[in-house]
Structure 1
Amino acid sequence: MTELTERIERLAIQDGTIITAYHALSFVRSSDVSEPVPAVYKPSLCVIAQGAKQVLLGPESYFYDPGSYLVASVHLPITGQVIDASPEKPYLSLQLQFEMDQILDIIQQPYFTENTGHKSHRALVIGQMSNSLHEAILRLIRLLDTPEDLPALAPYAVREILYRMLQTEQGNTIRNFALLGSRAQRIVPVIEQINREYTEPMRVDNLAKAAGMSTSSFFSCFKEVTAMTPLQYQKRLRLTEARRLLLATMSDATSVAYQVGYESATQFNREYARLFGQPPIRDVRRFLGMNPQ
């Protein structure tokens, strides 16, 4: 991990998220442990070079560090918390976003052989880093030293990373979300629809029809994939975006509530406080270091 740590630290000189010259690759640096922060993961591979992080998906908790990796196979509203970091040894990580079409293209090749690892329908998995995956990631990051080579070589480096990822113990689970017709794959376009239309009223029976399932089967499969019911999933999307808007624009809570799809400001305030621990304005003031009163 020494080279990976040094390269990320050299490029991520300040705390926060740094978008690299390759659009799908970003770095994160934190010089201190953080409070739980809500976010929405896109399909991506996340690797820690230094430090550790805890991710909450619904009621489930996931821990990973430099010996492991995290993969999100669909859009997932999560809560992340850096739990190991200091100014002397800051938390350093990378996130590589990918498309399921890239996964499908690899697994359809005649040279691809399915491993015998465990298969799960959960869209968030933790796996153990392999040397081959680690080396493939380094090859992509080294290309940042010669940005003129990125258009020609980065796609091949990313393809190798995804291939190596699919060869790890969690490869079957990731593969399951790309296989046309699988239960998990039938949920993917519905999740994408909810992400596009999260402000709109939602009818589970219409979503089930879009997935080609009965309502009960869809409900069960959706929860199996996301660890949440469809309504809980939509609620997390709305509240996560509401918090982002409140912090970015300092708008009043009522207007933000309507903007993310709530019809009742009272219900918004109640559900926001339940998720974030305080009502909207007090939460924003606390986050920004202002007097919460």
Structure 2
Amino acid sequence: MTHDLTPHLDIALRHAPPGSTVTSIPRVEIGVGQASSGKAPCLYRSMICFILQGSKRVAINDNLLSYDSAQYLISALDLPLTGEILDAPSGQPYVAVSLVLDPAILAELAATMPPVRENDPKGIGIAINPMTAPLRDTLLRLLSLLDTPADIPVLAPMIERELLYRLLQGPQGRLLRQIAQPEGALGRIRRAAGWIRDNYNTRLRIEALCDASGMSRASLHRHFLAMTGLSPLQYQKQLRLQEARQLLLAGEHSASDVAFAVGYESASQFSREYFRQFGAPPARDARQIRRKIGAAA
């Protein structure tokens, strides 16, 4: 961690206990955790992530991205990834701040900037870029509002717009502008991914995805794989398994009940795919996680 982020870190740790904290600033969350013992599936929403302490490695198919406080990450659409938190200095916790992207604000800001001719983005919808001093300063002013909550309704929208403006000017401004263009390829794939999220526990219907995205079957598959690293069916399976894990951790349902709740027609198929994803059968995996949580408390 660089000394430039010390004040950011102090504020974050004052306002966020271990785990994920939804702050009083709209769309801003703080995550505090320890180094993980291995890779764990996670869902990256359409967001910007700034690491304040520690580092993280994420994998999506064959793409491996590592970043720390010297970079920020942009996820242009909701992406099921495999993530691994790495050690922070002297065993200190990993701390990160995320800002969920609002396409309407991005569109409004992009409309005030000089027009740029560009084609649809090529490649996956996630990128890592170097952190800059103006971004650090703007992020600090945004986090500082947690100490003066009465200022949030008036000042947070202005600082959020400034932060997004600076990001639009950065190396991934092109990717962010695509989020604000619903008829571009990225916007269409975002709609298809949204349909899958809303219907993850039902049979995947490619015709419905084509209708939601306004794409042909061939174009949908090509762009979906390019931007998410997954086929629509693989994307749905990742969402099902992550939701199943959350239901199992709640401890209110059996593994077979959870299997049917998330859309599996066979409890045995669910158990096989869960084991391949998380490295343990459903019930045992949930017990192991609960034990780790209890030991850390």
TM over 0.5: yes
Quickly say closer, same or farther: Cα 1:120–1:130, change in 2 above 3 A.
farther
* 1:4 aligns to 2:2 (yes or no): no
* CA distance in 2 between partners of 1:279 and 1:54 (Å): 25
* CA distance in 2 between partners of 1:91 and 1:23 (Å): 22
Deviation, structure 1 residue 219:
0.3
Aligned to 2:68: 65
Aligned to 1:241: 243
Shift >3 Å, 4+ stretches? 31-35, 111-116, 118-121
Which digits, 9 at most, give the CA deviation of each residue in 1:82-122, with x for residues without a partner?
1123665221111111221221111111x346599x95442
Quickly say closer, same or farther: Cα 1:265–1:86, change in 2 above 3 A.
farther
Deviation, structure 1 residue 174:
2.2
Aligned to 1:103: 106
Deviation, structure 1 residue 129:
1.0
The SS at the match of 2:291 is coil
8 Å Cα contact 1:204/1:215 also seen in 2 = yes
The SS at the match of 1:63 is strand
AA of the residue aligned to 2:85: V
* CA distance in 2 between partners of 1:115 and 1:16 (Å): 42
8 Å Cα contact 1:58/1:228 also seen in 2 = yes
Aligned to 1:173: 175
* CA distance in 2 between partners of 1:142 and 1:120 (Å): 37
The SS at the match of 2:92 is coil
8 Å Cα contact 2:121/2:186 also seen in 1 = no
Aligned to 1:195: 197
Aligned match for 1:49, one of 52, 76, 86: 52
* CA distance in 1 between partners of 2:289 and 2:236 (Å): 24
* CA distance in 2 between partners of 1:174 and 1:192 (Å): 18
214-223 vs 83-92, greater mean Cα deviation:
83-92
* CA distance in 2 between partners of 1:257 and 1:121 (Å): 33
The SS at the match of 1:62 is strand
8 Å Cα contact 1:115/1:167 also seen in 2 = no
Deviation, structure 1 residue 191:
1.1
AA of the residue aligned to 2:69: P
TM-score w.r.t. length of structure 1: 0.91
TM-score w.r.t. length of structure 2: 0.90
8 Å Cα contact 1:44/1:71 also seen in 2 = yes
Which digits, 9 at most, give the CA deviation of each residue in 1:251-273, with x for residues without a partner?
21100000001111111111111
Q: CA RMSD in A?
A: 2.1
* CA distance in 2 between partners of 1:246 and 1:207 (Å): 29
8 Å Cα contact 1:53/1:81 also seen in 2 = yes
AA of the residue aligned to 1:168: G
Aligned to 1:136: 138
* CA distance in 1 between partners of 2:247 and 2:189 (Å): 28
Aligned to 1:219: 221
Percent sequence identity is 37
Unaligned runs of 5+ in 2: 293-297
Aligned to 1:263: 265
The SS at the match of 1:108 is helix
* 1:92 aligns to 2:95 (yes or no): yes
* CA distance in 1 between partners of 2:20 and 2:182 (Å): 34
Aligned match for 2:125, one of 123, 126, 132: 123
8 Å Cα contact 1:115/1:171 also seen in 2 = no
8 Å Cα contact 2:107/2:181 also seen in 1 = yes
What is the number of equivalent residue pairs in this alignment? 287
Quickly say closer, same or farther: Cα 1:168–1:16, change in 2 above 3 A.
same
